[in-house]
Structure 1
Amino acid sequence: MENSSNIVKYEYGQIAEKIYVLNILKCFGCIGVVFIHVNFPGLFGSVVERLSRFAVPVFFMISGFFAFDKNELIIKRRLKKILKILFVGSVLYFIQNVFSYAFRGVLNEFFIHFFQLKILFMAFVFCNWLASVLWYLIAMAETYALWYFVVKHNKENKFLSAIPFLFSLMIILNLICDSLNISWVFHTNFMTEAMPYFLLGYLIHKHKFILVKYHMYYYFLLFFFWGGLPFCQKLLKHLLISRVLE
């Protein structure tokens, strides 16, 4: 009885420490998101902006991490919560756009633009809706919507096999868009920007027994490393361009 009690205490301690580490990581992620949207001058600003790109992938990974072993009811509840936040955000930005266009005396242009089919296409395919800052919520909602059906039909393990393909597709798509100076909007679809990291976070939790013998801060390093992949893509792009120009 005493041994079982010690095991429970050990496992609880591991879980508590793990959540503590991920909370620290989320704190760094929040700071990173702020630095992405703050334009520091010169080379310093460029370096800070690129290094801060780890933040959003980390949030996707943490969502996947805590989606492990959750049934469709829990996934559905989380999806509803995200949709509520997205709805409120969309209403607020809709109102802000109405006032902004009305102030400039071109309100009719806004409604003509807003009700075009391509706006819905951009929203569902490229997560671009009313304001660019909403893209994360759209990508997260679409990720959870797909994951709901995956969990409902018990296809989690099969879906995990798509991780290498999705990451490869993400890197190729980002390099093409960056090389051709195509707006970032056109590579922000949830299947290449959100789902790969979500699945990776899920996979890390699934195989946590590999990490459990190490200190829990290995989770921190692992998430931070994979979250830095966008920075590596930017670096690879510059290296490729430099080789071409030589």
Structure 2
Amino acid sequence: MNSAEGGAAHIPAFSLSPYRFPIRLLLVACALGVAYVVAQKINPYGIEPGRSEASRLLFELFDLNGENNVPTWFTSMVWAMAAGLAMVASRREFSPDAHRRLSWSLLGGVFLLLSLDEVGSLHERLLGLAGDTIKRSLGLADSFYYSWAPMGMLLVLLVAGLFVPFLLRIPRGVAARLILAGGVFLSGSLAIETIGSSYEAGLIASTDVFRISWHRLIFVEEVLEMIGAILAVHALLWSLALSPAAVASPEPSMLTSAPKQPAHG
């Protein structure tokens, strides 16, 4: 009989710093942003006449608005990491509050959907039809170039309302970090996207003070989305580094200083 049958796999423990590891992810995100700018300069949008095939491939590889390339894989990986950490938080929940354990799992599910959305553009495919209906019913047909945007806003409000009780039950430092991560992510995925919608629809135009271009909007939007995902990882690592006493109580006195963290990672 195989000795592994009926047993359990033992995975060596490892530790990640709530600060150093996210900073490393942030440096990667900055490098991808720079790579996009460089590729854009070499061959704008990858279609500039007379440019080499190598420059076109370079742009496609680092196009922040593209699919199946390095920035997409990176952002999807970060969200998947956040989903895994949320599941770990659910398993290690010290509080007997079943609502908190379930909420951590649901948060992990949201992060997993965001990871899948990065590689599959689910929001455009699944929310587009519903968005068209909402735009027509509210008379917003000319206000959004992207039909999924109105539906996305409603979905964000629904999810935010669903997690308000959970955010009030967890330590305030963790809740504040999760709210910051969501705010940064949404400022890119919805706020900048809405500006891009209005720009594409011709409702706003570039001025001498605010020079709007598709290239700049894409850069800001995608970088903010990457930073939002990284901040979510930071929030979850910070939560997992808290002591059992701090996790069990949302009182601000428990969170006057950052949790002690291991030297690794």
With the length of structure 1 as denominator, give the TM-score of the two structures.
0.36
Q: Which structure has more helix as a fraction of its residues? A: 1
